[in-house]
Chain A
């Protein structure tokens, strides 16, 4: 990442200034014209370094308090096609393929599921199970019981 992009990340990773012309303020802080800032941000949106620009809601404040990590052992030849369908579900906020570590860990698909109650979340997990069924060999659901550490991932 070049120095200009790094300056933009540093200036915006905690949020945009809530003023009428926020981009102009960011451009000034980064020492570049607004047109150049727009071009750099467009490039970062295009290559995925920026996922999106907007409001980042707090799950808990929205009442999504029953959050589970569901893990699935899905046949290798089917996992990418099915993973894309799981990732498209509205209640799934993260969906990844990860390596198996046999014999200790057999699950290759991870989906974070958010619900407003345990029953809600269990119903969501059942929906994923139905979707994966043809290629599913095993599954498990891990509810979090305590946050042991939470620090944002920020550039220092």
Chain B
């Protein structure tokens, strides 16, 4: 990773300016020029070092309803339950974790009222109870990953 890539990761995860030539302004801050910065961001996106460049939205504050769910699924039944859970478009991501609660997924629905019926459907389809763990409070994240 070169110096400019490191600077992008460490200093450009936020604060991208709202002005006519924001890449030029950001480039001055990072000690480079507009064209070089744009080319570097393109290269980092292509290489997968960055997943995106732009506004990072808080999906919940945009108006959707979200919750984190956990299930304890016997190993022999895990693939069947995975297929049933993943088949619902409201299941945004799903992770297997090394724990008694071995399946953890996030539900993203348009409205809060849709969540309880969906959880009831998942329990009926799979035969296992679902722990519903919505976020009650987020603790502000000031610092980010560094390169």
Q: Are A55 and B41 in contact (CB under 8 A)?
A: yes
Within 8 A of A (CB), among B83-99: 85-86, 91-99
Distance, CA A152 to CA B57, complexed state (A): 12
In the complex, the answer to whether B13 meets A57 with C-beta atoms within 8 Å is yes
Tell me whether A88 and B137 are in contact in the complex, defined as CB-CB below 8 angstroms, given that A57-B50, A143-B98, A149-B105 are known contacts. Answer: no
| Best-surrounded residue of A58, A93, A110 (most CB of chain B within 10 A) | A58
Cα distance, A1 to B63, chains bound together (Å): 7
| Contacting pair B53 A104 (CB below 8 A) | no
Whether A130 is near chain B, meaning CB under 8 Å from some CB there, is: no
Chain B residues contacting A84 (CB-CB under 8 Å) are 139-140
Give the interface size bracket for B toward A. 35 or more
SS of B interface (majority): mixed
How distant is the Cα of A48 from the Cα of B61 in the complex, in angstroms? Answer: 7
Nearest chain A CB to B105 CB, angstrom units: 7
B147 adjacent to A41 (CB under 8 Å): no
A53–B54 touching, CB < 8 Å: yes
Instruction: Report whether B68 and A98 are in contact in the complex, using a CB–CB cutoff of 8 Å.
Output: yes
- Tally of chain A residues near chain B (CB < 8 A): 72
Say how far A106's CB is from chain B's closest CB, in angstroms: 11
- Per-position 1/0 for B9-44, Cβ under 8 A of A: 100111110111111100000000010001001101
Query: Which residues in window 68-123 of A have CB below 8 A to B?
Result: 69, 80, 83-84, 86-99, 101, 104-105, 110, 114
- Determine the chain A residues whose CB is within 8 A of the CB of B14 once the complex forms: 51-54
- A→B interface (CB under 8 Å): 1, 9, 12-16, 18-24, 34, 38, 41-42, 44, 47-59, 61-62, 64, 69, 80, 83-84, 86-99, 101, 104-105, 110, 114, 140, 142-153, 155
**Interface residues of B, Cβ cutoff 8 Å to A:** 8-9, 12-16, 18-24, 34, 38, 41-42, 44-45, 47-59, 61-64, 66, 68, 70, 82, 85-86, 91-99, 101, 103-106, 108, 131-147
